[in-house]
Amino acid sequence: MVKFKQCLEKFSDIDASSRLCLDVPTRWNSTYLMIKSALKYQRVFGNLHLVDESYKYFHTEEEWERAGKNCKFLLPFYDITNLIFVTSYPTSNLYFLQVWKIQCLLMENVKDEDVLIKNMGKLMIVKFEKYWDEYNVVLAFGAILDQG
C-alpha cells in the first residue's frame, strides 16, 4: 500500500480521496466495489512496477475492458441490494419489486452478446430460480396485500 500511494502521488489528476476496496468472498457486493475502485486507479496499477520492483501483475487492455463490463453488469444488483438492506422496514411490496427487477436483469443478460456476461447470467439465473420458486407466491400475496 505504501508503494501504491507513492505511485498514486505521481498522478495529480486522479482523485485519491477514495480507497481501494478488497474483495470479501462472503459478500458479493464487495466484488463490485473492488472492481469499481480498481478501475479508478487503472493508470496507477499500470505504472506500479516503476515504484515497486516486486509488482508483477500487468493487466492487459482487454482485462481492464472485462473489468469495466463486469462492473457495469454488477451495478444494478449492487443498487438493488443496497435499497433492500438500507431500508429499515422493507415491505414485501418493495422486496417483490426488486426481486422482479433482478429477474428481468438476469433474463436480459442471458441474451448478451458477450459470452462471459451471458454465461455469468446463466449461472446466476439457475441459482435465482432455485430460491425464487420457493418464495414467489408468498411474496406476491404479500405485495398484493401491502397495496392496501
26 and 92 belong to one structural domain: no
Q: How many residues does the chain have?
A: 148
Are 53 and 102 in the same domain? no
Residues 72 and 2 in one domain: yes
Asked if 42 and 106 sit in the same domain, the reply is: no
Closest listed residue to residue 14, CA positions, set 3, 2, 5, 23: 5
Please say if the pLDDT value at position 146 is more than 70. Answer: no
Query: What are the pLDDT digits (tens) for 42-78?
Result: 998 888 888 888 888 888 999 999 999 999 999 998 9
What global pTM score does this model have?
0.76
C-alpha distance across the termini of the chain, in Å: 54
Weakest mean pLDDT among 23-27, 33-37, 73-77 = 23-27
Which pLDDT value is given to residue 122? 94
State which residues form the domain around 98: 87-148
7 contacts 48 by C-beta, under 8 angstroms: yes
Domains held by the chain: number: 2
Mean pLDDT, rounded, of the chain? 84
